[in-house]
Amino acid sequence: MTPEEQNFMRKINAEEKIEPKDWMPDAYRKNVTRQMSQHAHSEVIGMQPEGNWITRAPSLRRKVVLLSKVQDEAGHGLYLYSACETLGISRAEMIEALQKGTAKYASIFNYPTLTWGDVGAIGWLVDGAAIVNQVSLQRTSYGPYARGMIRICKEESFHQRQGYEALLVLAQGSPEQKQMAQDSLNRFYWPALMMFGPHDSESAHSAKSMEWKIKRETNDDLRQKFIDQTVPQIEFLGLEHPDPAIKWNEERGHYDHGDIDWEEFYSVINGNGHCNRQRIEHHVAAHEEGAWVRDAITAYNDKKNANKIKNVA
Amino acid sequence: MTTEKLELFEVFIRSKRGLDHKHVGSLHAEDHAQALEYARDCYTRRSEGVSIWVMKSNDICASQEDDAESFYDPSDDKPYRHATYYVLPDPVNNM
Ligand SMILES: [Fe+2]
Ligand SMILES: [Fe+2]
Ligand SMILES: [Fe+2]
């Protein structure tokens, strides 16, 4: 090991954060850049399935709540893109990678939101799963990422609560409403479990990420946490658990669960989900429609700078 | 020596790795490099920090307290942005 590498590993082992101007191995920089940009893309693409319901929310209260939540997600995207830029990648490069498909985002957002119940299920389960992951990432080794996570976690709790509350109303409503809640739970439960990524034995980036403390807990441990916390929440709604194999295991102190359909997971990741194409097309369209704003800012700056030079001369 | 010709710099210190830089005060200096040295001498005599940022005070664009109302008003009527707004029954209140 070179002295730089030694110093880097000393910080990692001592639970110290790595800061933007510190020396770090290229592979560490690449790994954190990949994970953080993927996280940022997920926040931004994640606005689409919920945004789909803003104009159709069942009441004014639900509408402003949903609007606020989606607005938060845009903010989370911004925090994460900015934090990621401290590693040397530009915003434009990240956006291009997303639009060309070389960078991924959370697969869950390739599922459609067919009913109002889905908006509740997303807040409760998808944000719920994200929180489990993000709480763990508050201890990630890259300083700007860790601080971003602390900020984001503070804002996430409302996302999960508003979702659960919306679903609780449905679950306590008419038989049709209760059925809608059940249907949303059934469709989003398994994809939410997949959000934690493949089993540790299959995960390409896991070992190094754990060694460098980019990730603090394994995919399977985080998933188990989520499974455990979700069981009583489903029970309280009076809904049927989508996993018939769910069973408390006294010895392990955890719930045992059924197998995840990994074929579906890889199929959706590789572009064959219901909405993959639509999500990226929409992103490209929104980006292009906003081009005039970026152009106007550049033109204004150019003009201001030109005036400054004139005044000096 | 007069400080009139010198620029004002704001000083930010990270007290521990992993924490944000916090504003600690300001000082006059000739340029960035000198400001950094002065900041070290003035503000970290007891190893208060592991990293110092200095920036020209003139480069700071700040909101005005007088504008606070119109600046922050829009949040006043949005209690639903807070987790506590959602009242959940005890058995599921831990989310
Ligand atoms: Fe978020
Ligand atoms: Fe969220
Ligand atoms: Fe998130």
Position A236 pLDDT exceeds 70: yes
Query: Residue B88: exposed, middle, or buried by beta-carbon count in 10 A (0-12, 13-18, 19+)?
Result: middle
Interface contact B80-A162, CB threshold 8 A? yes
The whole-number average pLDDT for the span B70-76 is 77
Task: Indicate the DSSP class of residue A256.
Answer: E
Task: Find out whether A101 and A50 touch, Cβ atoms under 8 Å.
Answer: no
Q: Chain A interface, mutation test: which of B15, B21, B81, most A Cβ atoms within 10 Å?
A: B81
Testing the interface with B: which of A8, A142, A158 to mutate, by most B Cβ within 10 A?
A158
Q: Is residue A139 helix, strand or coil?
A: coil
Give the global pTM. 0.91
**Ion ligand 2: residues, CB < 5 A:** A 127, 156, 159
Is residue A203 classed exposed, middle or buried when 0-12, 13-18 and 19+ CB atoms within 10 A define those classes?
A: middle
Q: What pLDDT, on the 0 to 100 scale, is given for residue A169?
A: 97
CA-nearest of A273, A264, A136 to A198 is A264
A2-48 pLDDT, tens digit each: 999 999 999 999 999 999 999 999 999 999 999 999 999 999 999 99
The mean per-residue pLDDT over the stretch B3-13 comes to 89
Residue type, B62: A
Question: Looking at residue B2, what is its pLDDT?
Answer: 66
Domain chopping of chain B, boundaries = 1-59
Top-confidence residue, B5 or A162: A162
What pLDDT is attached to residue A259?
A: 95
List pLDDT tens digits, range A257-312.
Answer: 999 999 999 999 988 999 999 999 999 999 999 999 999 999 999 999 998 888 87
On whether the CB atoms of residues B46 and B39 are closer than 8 A, the answer is no
pLDDT at residue A127 tops 70: yes
Partner residue opposite A68 with nearest CB, options B17, B80, B95:
B80
Q: How far is the CA of A156 from the centre of ligand 1 (A)?
A: 6
Tokens found for residue B27:
């000082």
Residue of A65, A128, A143 lying closest to B80 (CB–CB):
A65
- pLDDT tens across A109-121, in order? 999 999 999 999 9
* Model confidence at A89: pLDDT above 90: yes
State both tokens at A303. 């003009």
Nearest CB among B81, B85, B95 relative to A164 is that of B95
Give yes or no for residue A313 having a pLDDT over 70: no
Contact, A97 vs A56, CB < 8 A?
Answer: no
- State residue B3's pLDDT score: 66
Sequence-distant (≥ 6) Cβ neighbours of residue B8 within 8 angstroms: B26, B27, B28, B56, B57, B58
Tokens of A109: 């957002």
Shortest distance between the Cα of A44 and any Cα of chain B, in A, equals 19
Q: Which residues pair with A142 in a beta bridge?
A: A18
pLDDT digits (tens, 9 = 90+) for A163-210: 999 999 999 999 999 999 999 999 999 999 999 999 988 877 778 899
Tokens of A112: 């459609």
Taking CB atoms and an 8 Å cutoff, what residues of chain A touch B20?
147
* Residues contacting B45, CB < 8 A, separation 6+: none
CATH of B1-59, one of 3.40.50.1370, 3.10.20.520, 3.40.50.970, 1.10.1060.10: 3.10.20.520
Query: Residue B26, Cβ neighbours under 10 Å: how many?
Result: 17
Strand partners, B14: B51
CB B29 within 8 A of CB B38: yes
A103 within 8 A of A97, measured Cβ to Cβ: yes
Residue B1: the pLDDT is 57
Query: Mind listing the pLDDT tens digit for each residue in B26-67?
Result: 999 999 999 999 999 999 988 888 999 999 999 999 888 777
pLDDT recorded at residue A4 = 95
H or E element that contains B53: strand B51-56
Nearest by CB to residue B92, choosing from A72, A146, A236, is A236
DSSP annotation of A59 reads S
> Given this model, what pLDDT does residue A170 score?
97
Distance A69 CA to ligand 2 centre (A): 7
Q: How far is CA A183 from CA A9, A19, A58, A280, B66, in A?
A: 48, 45, 18, 27, 52
| pLDDT of res. A201 | 82
